[in-house]
Amino acid sequence: MHRCRIVVVATIAFVSPLSAQSGDPSRGQQDFQACVPCRSLEADRNMTGPSLANLWGRKAGSLPSFDRYSDALKASGIIWDDGSLGAWLTDPRRMVPDNEMPFQGIEDSRVRSDLLAFLK
């Protein structure tokens, strides 16, 4: 199971940077409106979920001002970048089993690409 997860994440990591480069940030900004009830783009303005400000390069589960991370996410070792965030947006339960985020993922690759382009 672990090997399968590594293959899935590696594949998404390879494809996602290309997707983020081709995404449309203005469409991504519109798509982000679905996230606004729980997420902020302002540094340390945490809501139901942690702030997404300065997300790239940050270790998952490590924002000091947010204390409600699942043990699974804190132990994941993930560093957020195009690939890891793309995999998370695709299927967070597959990427980090037992995480506590109530989010099923985004099936539409265009929406994921646009959202990545906006967040970046």
At residue 102's C-alpha, the angle toward residues 80 and 53, to 5°, is 35
* pLDDT given at position 45: 97
Angle between helix axes 25-32 and 109-119 (nearest 10 degrees) is 100
* pLDDT given at position 3: 52
Task: For residues 97-116, give the mean pLDDT.
Answer: 94
pLDDT digits (tens, 9 = 90+) for 7-60: 444 444 444 444 445 899 999 999 999 999 999 999 989 999 999 999 999 999
Query: pLDDT band for position 70 (50/70/90)?
Result: very high
Residue 105, by phi and psi: left (phi above 0), alpha (psi -120 to 50) or beta? left
CATH 3.40.50.2300 is the classification of domain 2-119: no
